[in-house]
């Protein structure tokens, strides 16, 4: 498709971005199956320990239900007590899971020599004896009891403040002066042409209902474009209606709105100066305006009656799934008068589904980013008005626009950030450029951008949210392979299914779902339309990085943030600073809950692996003999990827330790970008484990 997008150049409504509680529920989803597994005969727990595990499981199931409930509430309506309680549950759940994992490793390694090096056990001493886990279960039980009491004490399940939600930042786009819209003319004419309005002539009376579904990420300008087309065409139709569906629609209110709009125009057209007709119109409008006691069927029948002999145009904005569309479709009377429906959505699957009906002639139209020229025009107008950009800011402004990649919402957000600076200097602009995608900025424009994206995030299932947040561990502009990403998700237990499910196939569905929801961008698309890799838009990365930090999901050390005051809250760690040390204080002897460690090639150094006792995923982009030392003691490790950047003055092969065969849970060993002359003979032991994969 040709470029088809637009956005307004005015100010945006402020929005408040709060911490959400979905990560807590996601951790519990991974933990509960492990608790169930501990109750099986495989682990031979004492009766008291089994009863303790059962109690813990029952309480956590109840907590999961409460968290799932509040995770659907808009963030600005959540009480602070709910967020504090969710944070406590999340931390407790991570700790419990690490305890259980260590016990499971101990149990599986008790009858095999593969967890020993030189006769010395690699397992934590705490879990050697089966009695130790009984004492630990008792401790956990008491902690769970306290958290449960806190939930009851503060009535967490019922605390949802009745405060009104912030105004939708998309609303102003509907009322913006058309003269201030960027790139609107070509885009609007493109949609009108697809609707086949021009040149229909007499054949319009025999035409099937035409539907065009405009699809694209949040903030791409779908509503603005659809509204511009609607305003241009509405005068040519007898009945028109514009409704917004949104994430949690009240379908009865939406149907009532359609009824009021389509009947209002009919009455305006048909009434004359006759006093009796005016009275009848007023009475009828009053009657249609009070539909609270009507059933949905009654409203649908009234709409169909109004439309059955008239030509109509209906705009359905911001539809999230198929259910609302199936109900709205019932009102669309088939009269072959050349009726038109415009729909906007963020989800490609929803767009295709709505267009596949036998009742409509549907077209899916995917929005493309703004052109370089329009991006520049929008950016400069927001900051400087009708004045041009100063010459000294031209170069850095082009770098910023490259980050935005033609995404109108991102351009507006960054421009708002810069426009609010007291002075416009090159150093300030460079600082903003360097902060993009780090989640550090927090002005109103950036908050609005996060608010729009949070709608897409809240629409996801809990497991898909976790898979999206995991992407914040990668540096910006990184191409992420499909297979590699899915194996990481599996290693982290982010992909979970029934016992007979193929986890890779399930992870593949998650990958495609994120593409269809416009949260990741497909790359390396093959001849069959299958993306072999993906990348994350820099400003989407900014959003998930911010969210990951709020939820203690991913911690990034890149020289800009201090080391977290609570090392126990670090669960996934990305080291990517380009200067100085790795950012972890030398006095740190243990990071007990880090599951993933990603060391970018930009990091000059890294800590010893011995401080990460429960590490599951390890990637070293600049692997050396020194920083691979100790990998054999990481008994929880499931995924290991080593790579080396080639330098003409540094071409040393690395050597895997002989004891690597002791990593009994390793599923993936990726060496395709590492310089290794030979593998240790013990690597053959790794073939014993289900799902093992070696790349290279």
Q: What is the CATH number of the domain that holds 342?
A: 3.40.50.300
Q: Are residues 202 and 125 in the same domain?
A: no
Which pLDDT does position 239 carry in this prediction?
93
Residues 577 and 571: their CA atoms lie apart, in Å, by 19
Instruction: Transcribe 85-109 into DSSP letters.
Output: HHHHHHHHHHHHHHHHHHHHHHHHH
Q: Which of 666, 669, 658 is nearest to 688 (CA)?
A: 666
Q: Are residues 265 and 197 in the same domain?
A: yes
Residue 343 near residue 211, CB atoms below 8 Å? yes
Residue 262 near residue 215, CB atoms below 8 Å? no
Residue 614 near residue 98, CB atoms below 8 Å? yes
Kindly state whether residue 613 falls inside one of the protein's structural domains. Answer: yes
Residue 337 near residue 311, CB atoms below 8 Å? yes
Of the chain, the percentage scoring pLDDT greater than 70 comes to 77
Kindly state whether residue 26 falls inside one of the protein's structural domains. Answer: yes
Q: Residue 499: pLDDT band by 50, 70, 90 thresholds?
A: low
Write out the residue range of the structural domain in which residue 119 sits.
Answer: 22-158
Q: Are residues 147 and 237 in the same domain?
A: no
> Which residue, chain included where needed, has tokens 């549907």?
362
Which domain-ending residue is among 338, 366, 394? 366
Of the chain, the percentage scoring pLDDT greater than 90 comes to 23
Angle at 104 between CA 43 and CA 511, to 5 degrees: 120
Q: Are residues 225 and 318 in the same domain?
A: yes
Report whether pLDDT(546) > 80.
yes
Alpha carbon 219 to its chain's center: 14
Kindly state whether residue 13 falls inside one of the protein's structural domains. Answer: no
Q: Are residues 673 and 589 in the same domain?
A: yes
Report whether pLDDT(18) > 50.
no
pLDDT tens for 666-679 read 999 988 888 787 78
Which pLDDT does position 483 carry in this prediction?
94
Residues 573 and 474: their CA atoms lie apart, in Å, by 10
Instruction: State the SS3 of 27-83.
Output: HHHHHHHHHHHHCCHHHCCCHHHHHHHHHHHHHHHHHHHHHHHHHCCCHHHECHHHH
pLDDT tens for 259-307 read 999 988 665 545 444 555 454 444 444 445 567 778 889 999 999 999 9
Q: Are residues 190 and 136 in the same domain?
A: no
pLDDT tens for 563-578 read 877 888 899 999 886 5
Which pLDDT does position 515 carry in this prediction?
92
Kindly state whether residue 382 falls inside one of the protein's structural domains. Answer: no
Kindly state whether residue 539 falls inside one of the protein's structural domains. Answer: no
Which pLDDT does position 589 carry in this prediction?
84
Residue 442 near residue 9, CB atoms below 8 Å? no
Which pLDDT does position 289 carry in this prediction?
56
Q: Which of 344, 319, 372 is nearest to 224 (CA)?
A: 344
Report whether pLDDT(586) > 90.
no
| Residue 58 structure tokens | 């029952």
Which pLDDT does position 696 carry in this prediction?
58
The pLDDT of 134-156, averaged and rounded, is 86
Q: Which of 30-44, 245-259, 459-473, 650-664 has the lowest mean pLDDT?
A: 650-664
Q: Which of 13-22, 325-334, 595-604 has the lowest mean pLDDT?
A: 13-22
Angle at 258 between CA 252 and CA 264, to 5 degrees: 130
221: left (phi over 0), alpha (psi -120 to 50) or beta: left
Report whether pLDDT(695) > 80.
no
Query: DSSP state, 13?
Result: -
Q: Which of 190, 159, 165, 153 is nearest to 4 (CA)?
A: 190
The pLDDT of 220-232, averaged and rounded, is 89
Encode 645-659: b = buried (16+ Cβ within 10 Å), e = exposed. Answer: eeeeeeeeebebbeb
Residues 609 and 94: their CA atoms lie apart, in Å, by 20
Q: Are residues 201 and 130 in the same domain?
A: no
Better-predicted residue by pLDDT, 447 or 124: 447
Which pLDDT does position 55 carry in this prediction?
93
Which domain-ending residue is among 143, 158, 173? 158
Report whether pLDDT(605) > 50.
yes
Report whether pLDDT(107) > 80.
no
Q: Which of 459, 474, 475, 470 is nearest to 518 (CA)?
A: 459
Q: Which of 441, 418, 448, 417 is nearest to 542 (CA)?
A: 441
Q: Are residues 154 and 195 in the same domain?
A: no
Residues 431 and 437: their CA atoms lie apart, in Å, by 12
Report whether pLDDT(588) > 60.
yes
Residue 583 near residue 559, CB atoms below 8 Å? yes
Which domain-ending residue is among 366, 384, 405? 366
Residue 291 near residue 256, CB atoms below 8 Å? yes
Kindly state whether residue 280 falls inside one of the protein's structural domains. Answer: yes
pLDDT tens for 651-661 read 567 788 888 88
Which pLDDT does position 584 carry in this prediction?
83
Give the contacts of 255 (CB within 8 A, at least 6 positions apart): 296, 299, 300, 303, 327, 328, 331
Instruction: State the SS3 of 589-654.
Output: CCCCCCCEEEECCCCCCCCCHHHCCCCCEEEECCCCCCCCCCHHHCCCCCEEEEECCCECCECCCC
- Predicted TM-score (pTM) of the model is 0.76
Residues 163 and 113: their CA atoms lie apart, in Å, by 60
Residues 269 and 347: their CA atoms lie apart, in Å, by 37
CATH number at residue 671: 3.80.10
Kindly state whether residue 88 falls inside one of the protein's structural domains. Answer: yes
Q: Which of 264, 220, 262 is nearest to 243 (CA)?
A: 262
Q: Residue 116: pLDDT band by 50, 70, 90 thresholds?
A: very low
Query: Mean pLDDT across the chain, nearest whole number?
Result: 78
> Which residue, chain included where needed, has tokens 């920083």?
627
Q: Which of 139-143, 308-312, 468-472, 647-651 has the lowest mean pLDDT?
A: 647-651
Which pLDDT does position 126 carry in this prediction?
40
The pLDDT of 140-155, averaged and rounded, is 86
Alpha helical stretches, state H, 444-492: 444-458, 462-470, 482-491
Q: Which of 47-51, 168-172, 480-484, 542-546 has the lowest mean pLDDT?
A: 168-172
Residue 59 near residue 152, CB atoms below 8 Å? no
Q: Give whichever of 6-15, 111-120, 216-225 has the largest mean pLDDT.
A: 216-225
Number of domains in the chain: 3
Kindly state whether residue 239 falls inside one of the protein's structural domains. Answer: yes
Q: Residue 581: pLDDT band by 50, 70, 90 thresholds?
A: low
């Amino acid at each position: 498709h040709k470029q088809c997008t637009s956005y307004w150049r005015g100010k945006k409504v402020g929005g408040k971005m709060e911490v959400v509680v979905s990560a807590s529920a996601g951790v519990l989803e991974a933990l509960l199956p492990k608790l169930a597994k501990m109750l099986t005969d495989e682990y031979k727990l004492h009766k008291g320990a089994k009863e303790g595990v059962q109690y813990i499981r029952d309480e956590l199931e109840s907590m999961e239900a409460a968290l799932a409930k509040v995770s659907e509430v808009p963030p600005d309506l959540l009480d602070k007590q709910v967020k504090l309680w969710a944070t406590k549950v999340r931390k407790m759940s991570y700790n419990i899971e690490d305890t259980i994992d260590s016990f499971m490793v101990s149990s599986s390694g008790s009858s095999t020599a593969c967890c020993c090096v030189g006769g010395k056990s690699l397992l934590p001493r705490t879990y050697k004896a089966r009695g130790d886990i009984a004492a630990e279960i008792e401790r956990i039980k008491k902690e769970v009891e306290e958290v449960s009491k806190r939930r009851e004490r503060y009535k967490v399940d019922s605390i949802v403040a009745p405060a009104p939600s912030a105004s939708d930042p998309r609303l102003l786009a509907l009322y913006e002066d058309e003269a201030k819209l960027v790139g609107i003319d070509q885009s609007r004419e493109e949609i009108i042409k697809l609707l086949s309005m021009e040149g229909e002539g007499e054949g319009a009376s025999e035409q099937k209902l035409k539907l065009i579904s405009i699809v694209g990420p949040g903030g791409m300008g779908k509503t603005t474009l659809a509204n511009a087309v609607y305003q241009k065409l509405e005068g040519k139709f007898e009945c028109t209606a514009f409704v917004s569906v949104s994430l949690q629609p009240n379908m009865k209110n939406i149907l009532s709105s359609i009824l009021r709009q389509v009947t209002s125009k009919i009455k305006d057209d048909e009434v004359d100066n006759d006093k009796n007709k005016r009275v009848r119109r007023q009475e009828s409008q009053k009657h249609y305006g009070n539909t609270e006691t009507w059933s949905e069927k009654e409203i649908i029948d009234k709409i169909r009656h109004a439309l059955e002999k008239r030509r109509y145009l209906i705009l359905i904005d911001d539809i999230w799934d198929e259910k609302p569309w199936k109900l709205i479709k019932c009102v669309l009377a088939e009269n072959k008068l050349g009726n038109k429906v415009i729909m906007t959505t963020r989800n490609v699957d929803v767009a295709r589904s709505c267009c596949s009906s036998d009742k409509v002639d549907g077209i899916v139209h995917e929005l493309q980013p703004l052109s370089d020229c329009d991006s520049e025009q929008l950016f400069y107008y927001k900051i400087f008005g009708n004045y041009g950009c100063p010459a000294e800011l031209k170069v850095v402004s082009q770098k910023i626009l490259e980050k935005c990649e033609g995404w109108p919402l991102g351009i507006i957000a960054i421009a708002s950030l810069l426009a609010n600076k007291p002075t416009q200097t090159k150093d300030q602009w460079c600082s903003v450029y360097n902060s993009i995608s780090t989640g550090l900025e927090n002005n109103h424009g950036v908050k609005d951008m996060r608010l729009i994206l949070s709608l897409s995030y809240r629409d996801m299932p809990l497991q898909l949210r976790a898979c999206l947040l995991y992407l914040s561990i990668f540096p910006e502009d990184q191409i992420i392979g499909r297979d590699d990403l899915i194996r990481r998700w599996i290693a982290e237990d982010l992909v979970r299914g029934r016992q007979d499910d193929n986890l890779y196939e399930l992870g593949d569905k998650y990958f495609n779902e994120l593409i269809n929801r416009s949260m990741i961008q497909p790359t390396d698309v093959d001849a069959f339309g299958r993306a072999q890799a993906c990348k994350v838009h820099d400003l989407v990365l900014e959003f998930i990085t911010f969210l990951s930090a709020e939820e203690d999901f991913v911690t990034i050390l890149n020289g800009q943030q201090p080391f977290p005051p609570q090392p126990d809250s670090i669960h996934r760690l990305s080291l990517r600073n380009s200067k100085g040390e790795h950012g972890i204080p030398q006095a740190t002897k243990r990071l007990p809950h880090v599951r993933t460690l990603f060391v970018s090639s930009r990091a000059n150094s890294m800590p010893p692996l011995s401080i990460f006792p429960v590490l599951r995923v390890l990637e070293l982009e600049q692997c050396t003999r020194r920083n691979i030392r100790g990998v054999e003691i990481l008994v929880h490790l499931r995924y290991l990827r080593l790579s080396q950047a080639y330098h003409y003055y540094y071409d040393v092969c690395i050597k895997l330790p002989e004891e690597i065969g002791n990593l009994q849970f390793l599923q993936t060993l990726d060496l395709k970008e590492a310089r290794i002359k030979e593998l240790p003979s013990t690597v053959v032991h790794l073939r014993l484990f289900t799902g093992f994969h070696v790349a290279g």
